């Protein structure tokens, strides 16, 4: 039997670092656990960084200001950080510029003007173009700089971006996040990082402003894999939850009561409590777009196939998200997958 040990140590070292470079920390900021998952170990191990405050990057770039990127960058600005932003649609930068952010017209110029650059893009294709394309961030990278990709991409894409960045002498960290719009707004994201540990240590204070916890997972690709596993589970859970709500209604139960019952039992989950009431009313305010959930299911299934792991439940869930997309629900919240089940019930 595997002896599984978890130990968490709360370090105040990064709190001091963050206060130095971001003087107006938001009230929610607290030092977070620093947890390391070695690649060849089943144990959770704690490590504490000893990097000094003068090693913390002082100029921060942020590429991609969508549903997730905008509130993440906003939290950095609110904390008093020196932030430079870029987005394909410049108008999305304007609210942050009004709050003190600087603007550059290309990812390359952002990277050239900043010590570390974060990127939150919609999909692997966008992440690759913004990092490595014409006027991409890699063109502005040089030794001493760092690139932190917080997008959700597959492992091969992350490794390709890492290779391009590291060819410039800069450091690379993949750091996809677990959490959607509200956690991003509240600075409650979970960072799943992998890559250059020295860069992880340097940007720890910024991760703590944007999130509630951070995990270091070793080599590039491990963060991407962890995120896909988490989102595969989440997507499958949502389809099962949707089935239960519809079944309860068909047999004469009140689905609102089902949501309440679930919230008090062993299968209680914040996702069910948050999404359930809106789903019962057939309302799907977008926190995590359905098209992105389906993209993550597709990438997770590809990952599973690459290691010959059977995933029939996730595969079935993926088909429902595809049906929902075909009915014009791509930009709705992923909880709108329940509409695909309603369509199937009518067939």
pLDDT tens digits, 66-86: 999 999 999 999 999 999 999
At 334, list the tokens. Answer: 């992923």
Q: Can you tell me the mean pLDDT for 17-31? A: 44
Spatial neighbors of 307 by CB under 8 A, at least 6 apart, are: none
Which two tokens mark 48? Answer: 């504490």
Which residue in 302, 308, 271, 329 sits closest to 124, CA to CA? Answer: 302
- Rounded Cα distance between 165 and 140, Å, is 10
Q: What is the pLDDT, as a whole number, of residue 40?
A: 37
Q: Can you give the three-state secondary structure of the chain, one letter per residue? A: CCCCCCCCCECCHHHHHHHHHCCCCCCCCCCCEEEECCCCCCCCEECCCCCCHHHCCCEEEEECCCCCHHHHHHHHHHCCCEEEEECCCHHHCHHHHHCCCEECCCHHHHHHHCCEEEECCCCHHHHHHHHHCCCCHHHHCCCCCEEEECCCCCHHHHHHHHHHHHCCCCEEEECCEECCHHHHHHCCEEEEEEECHHHHHHHHHHHHHHEEEEEECCCCCHHHHHHHHHHHHHHHHHHHHHHHHHHHHHCCCCHHHHHHHHHCCCCCCHHHHHHHHHHHCCCCCCCCEHHHHHHHHHHHHHHHHHCCCCCHHHHHHHHHHHHHHHCCCCCCEHHHHHHHHHHHHHC
For the residues 320-326, what does the mean pLDDT come to?
98
For residue 92, with 0-12 CB atoms within 10 Å meaning exposed, 13-18 middle and 19 or more buried, which class applies?
Answer: middle
| Residue 268 near residue 308 (C-beta atoms within 8 A) | no
In whole angstroms, give the CA distance from residue 249 to residue 242: 11
Residue 109 corresponds to which tokens in the numbers above? 């110029």
Question: Is residue 37 predicted with pLDDT exceeding 60?
Answer: no
pLDDT of residue 27: 41
Span 5-28, average pLDDT: 41
Q: What is the pLDDT of residue 324?
A: 98
CA distance 130 to 136: 5
Rounded mean pLDDT of 292-314?
98
Residues 106, 86 contacting (CB under 8 angstroms): yes
Q: How confident is the model at residue 22 (pLDDT cuts 50, 70, 90)?
A: low
**Does residue 54 surpass a pLDDT of 80?**
no
Span 262-281, mean pLDDT? 97
* Structure-token pair, residue 45: 């191990």
Q: Residue 45 has what pLDDT?
A: 30
Determine the 3-state secondary structure of 172 from DSSP: strand
pLDDT of residue 56: 67
Per-residue pLDDT tens for 195-219?
A: 999 999 999 999 999 999 999 999 9
DSSP 50: -
Measured distance CA(229)–CA(281) in Å, rounded: 30
Separation between Cα atoms, residue 68 and residue 262, nearest integer Å? 28
Q: Is 45 helix (H, G, I), strand (E, B) or coil?
A: strand
Q: What is the pLDDT of residues 161-176, one digit of tens each?
A: 999 999 999 999 999 9
Catalytic-role residue among 78, 227, 275, 325: 227
Mean pLDDT of the chain: 88
Read off the pLDDT band of 55 (50, 70, 90).
low
Higher-pLDDT residue of 27 and 106 is 106
Provide the residue count of the chain.
Answer: 347
Residue 212 known to be catalytic = no
CA separation for the pair 307, 327 (Å, rounded)? 32
- For 143-157, what is the mean pLDDT? 98
- Band (pLDDT 50/70/90 cuts) for residue 346 is confident
Residue 17 has pLDDT above 80, yes or no: no
> Domains, the chain, ranges and CATH?
13-219 (3.40.50.720), 225-346 (1.10.1040.10)
Number of Cβ within 10 Å of residue 293's Cβ equals 26
């Amino acid at each position: 039997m595997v002896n599984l040990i978890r130990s968490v140590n709360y370090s105040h070292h990064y709190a001091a670092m963050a206060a130095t470079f971001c003087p107006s920390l938001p009230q929610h900021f607290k030092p977070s656990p620093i947890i390391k998952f070695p690649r060849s170990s089943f144990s959770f191990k704690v490590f504490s960084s000893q990097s000094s405050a003068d090693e913390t990057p002082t100029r921060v770039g942020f590429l991609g200001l969508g549903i997730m990127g905008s509130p993440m960058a906003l939290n950095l600005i609110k904390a008093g950080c020196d932030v430079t932003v870029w987005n394909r649609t410049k108008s999305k930068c304007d609210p942050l510029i009004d709050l003190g952010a600087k603007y550059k017209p290309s990812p390359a110029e952002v990277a050239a003007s900043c010590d570390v650059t974060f990127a939150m893009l919609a999909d692997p294709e966008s992440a690759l173009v913004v990092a490595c394309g014409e006027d991409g961030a890699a063109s502005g990278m040089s030794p001493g700089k760092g690139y932190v990709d917080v997008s959700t991409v597959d492992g091969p894409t992350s490794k390709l971006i890492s290779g391009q960045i590291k060819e410039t002498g800069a450091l690379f960290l993949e750091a996809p996040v677990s959490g959607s719009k509200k956690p991003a707004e509240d600075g409650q994201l979970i960072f799943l990082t992998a890559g250059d540990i020295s860069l992880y240590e340097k940007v720890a204070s910024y991760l703590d402003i944007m999130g509630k916890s951070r995990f270091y997972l070793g080599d590039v690709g491990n963060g991407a894999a962890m995120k896909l596993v988490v989102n595969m589970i989440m997507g499958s859970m949502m389809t099962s939850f949707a089935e239960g709500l519809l079944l309860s209604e068909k047999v004469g139960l009140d689905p609102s009561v089902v949501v309440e019952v679930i919230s008090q039992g062993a299968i209680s989950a914040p996702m069910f409590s948050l999404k359930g009431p809106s789903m019962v009313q057939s309302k799907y305010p977008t926190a995590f777009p359905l098209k992105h959930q389906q993209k993550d299911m597709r990438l997770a299934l590809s990952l599973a196939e690459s290691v010959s792991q059977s995933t029939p439940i996730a595969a079935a869930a993926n088909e429902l998200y595809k049906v929902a997309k075909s009915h014009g629900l791509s930009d709705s919240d992923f909880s709108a997958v329940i509409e695909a089940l309603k369509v199937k019930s009518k067939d």
